[in-house]
């Protein structure tokens, strides 16, 4: 039970908003193909209702909320209880809404005209019930349980658990969320963790980077609590459950016995048995009149993701969900400015998608011995690595006070050019297991490798 309440409460509290009043799901809901295992939809609502001016300042959540879901995660627990797959569904996903449920006992209504919008707007149109039905419609999966929380619930949860570990390989600053941290690993309170989880306007901007930070935050907090022995013992379990459940609301289908069964399965999982993934995206800025900028799922890859969950299979390592290119690129070549002192190489890199300037007229009369040299400014390591992947054998040279472009000086050795493939889904949100997602230096939680018993819906 304790492992369950920690995991699900943390997942639920990774978003914003105030939930005014209890909105239990209707027991009358469409049931897509049941599949195998147990599916839990966890959301956080973006609403400022009920927050005082002082609370808004403390939480750095000024402005008007949209009364929509700001974070949405689908947690799949395998039928044998030996694996958990946590899939983030980006808030701006463009989907068709489900029809509202008819009141119990009412005759079937005629189908309504199809309505499309961002998946986070389903909550505004029909609260939790429509959010669940829309996710079921979009994924083909049946949702067995639903949890929902708010800004203050997240802050209180992290504080009650002794804070959280966050990490970054570069400084992060976002005026929108109030995040301002240096590179490295940090221990923070609930307010700082909230800012870390909500930041969108940083490098790289948008939902995928934010989703990955949310996944890392949940993962590292669970790992720390497990390593400290905070996830065992009936007395401490009951105390933690009473504390955490104050910040989460459940639907009418979720009772204490359900939570206990699910919790027993979660409590036996090791990090390599917990997966984090994000729905693969095909279009990252699909403009829709009256809706705005949306995300369009990659049809084939997202279908493979939902099929894997329905069949109770792992999502990591499935190349239908996450193809493995021969030469992956960490940065989009089109966003890398390159100056090349050889016309032939400049043309080849241009065909590879790099933003190339041909500087061959100013090339040295005598080429230096050896392979080409890539010169770059500090902080542009990922861009340099992407360019080096296209030029096997090239040497990297960091140059203080270098400008934003990368320079390639060709030497006497032949210069092969490989085609690099940039996939934003791979670069920012590829499926990973919890043991590879931990912040550096955080403890690996102990635990058994087998599960006795399995949760049932």
Tell me the pLDDT tens digit for each residue of 380-408. 999 999 999 999 999 999 999 999 999 99
This prediction's pTM: 0.82
Domain ranges of the chain: 2-323+426-437, 328-422
**What is the rounded distance in angstroms from the CA atom of residue 235 to the CA atom of residue 229?**
13
Write out pLDDT tens, residues 269-304: 788 889 999 999 999 999 999 999 999 999 999 999
Q: Is pLDDT above 80 for 244?
A: no
* Per-residue CA distances from 22 to 25, 148, 240 (Å): 10, 10, 22
Q: 103-107 long-range CB contacts below 8 Å, 24 or more apart?
A: 103/28, 104/26, 104/27, 104/28
Please name the residue that has the structure tokens 């009920």.
Answer: 50
Instruction: For residue 147, give the nearest of 68, 40, 45 by alpha carbon.
Output: 40
Write out pLDDT tens, residues 219-237: 877 666 666 654 454 454 4
Give me the percent of the chain exceeding a pLDDT of 90: 44
**What is the rounded distance in angstroms from the CA atom of residue 20 to the CA atom of residue 410?**
64
Q: Domain 2-323+426-437, what fold?
A: Aminopeptidase (3.40.630)
**What is the rounded distance in angstroms from the CA atom of residue 198 to the CA atom of residue 143?**
25
Write out pLDDT tens, residues 37-77: 999 998 888 777 778 888 888 888 877 777 888 889 999 99
């Amino acid at each position: 039970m304790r492992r369950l309440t920690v995991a699900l409460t943390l997942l639920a509290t990774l978003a914003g908003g105030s939930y005014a009043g209890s909105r239990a799901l209707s027991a009358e809901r469409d049931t897509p193909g049941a599949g195998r295992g147990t599916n839990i939809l966890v959301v956080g609502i973006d609403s400022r209702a009920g927050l005082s001016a002082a609370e808004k300042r403390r939480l750095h959540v000024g402005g008007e909320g949209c009364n929509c879901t700001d974070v949405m995660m689908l947690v799949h627990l395998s039928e044998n209880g030996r694996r958990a797959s946590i899939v983030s569904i980006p808030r701006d996903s463009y989907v068709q809404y489900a029809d509202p449920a008819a009141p119990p006992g009412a005759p079937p209504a005629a189908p309504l005209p199809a309505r499309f919008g961002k998946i986070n707007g389903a909550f505004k149109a029909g609260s939790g019930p429509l959010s669940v039905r829309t996710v079921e419609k979009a994924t083909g999966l049946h949702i067995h349980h639903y949890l929902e929380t708010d800004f203050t619930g997240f802050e209180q949860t992290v504080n009650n658990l002794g804070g959280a570990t966050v990490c970054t390989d570069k400084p992060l600053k976002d005026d929108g969320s109030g995040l301002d941290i240096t590179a490295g690993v940090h221990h923070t309170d609930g307010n700082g963790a909230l800012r870390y989880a909500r930041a969108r306007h940083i490098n790289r901007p948008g939902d995928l980077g934010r989703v990955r930070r949310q996944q890392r935050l949940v993962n590292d907090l669970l790992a720390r609590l497990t390593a400290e022995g905070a996830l065992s013992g009936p007395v401490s379990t009951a105390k933690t459950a009473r504390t955490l459940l104050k910040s989460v609301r459940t639907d009418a289908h979720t009772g204490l016995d359900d939570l206990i069964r699910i919790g027993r399965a979660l409590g036996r999982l090791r990090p390599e048995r917990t997966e984090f993934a994000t729905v693969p995206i095909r279009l990252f800025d699909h403009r829709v009149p009256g809706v705005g900028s949306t995300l369009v799922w990659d049809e084939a890859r997202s279908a493979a993701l939902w099929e894997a969950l329905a069949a109770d299979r792992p999502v990591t390592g499935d190349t239908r969900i996450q193809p493995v290119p021969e030469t992956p690129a960490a940065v989009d070549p089109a966003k890398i400015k390159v100056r090349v002192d050889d016309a032939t190489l400049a043309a080849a890199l241009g065909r590879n998608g790099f933003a190339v300037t041909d500087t061959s007229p100013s090339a040295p009369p005598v080429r230096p011995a050896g392979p080409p040299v890539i010169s770059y400014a500090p902080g542009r390591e990922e861009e340099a690595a992407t360019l080096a992947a296209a030029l096997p054998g090239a040497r990297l040279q960091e140059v203080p006070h270098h400008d934003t472009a990368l320079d390639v000086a060709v030497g006497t050795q032949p210069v092969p050019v490989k085609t690099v493939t940039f996939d934003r889904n791979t670069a920012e949100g590829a499926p990973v297991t919890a043991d590879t997602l931990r912040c550096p230096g955080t403890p690996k939680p102990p635990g058994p490798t087998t599960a006795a018993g399995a949760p049932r819906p």
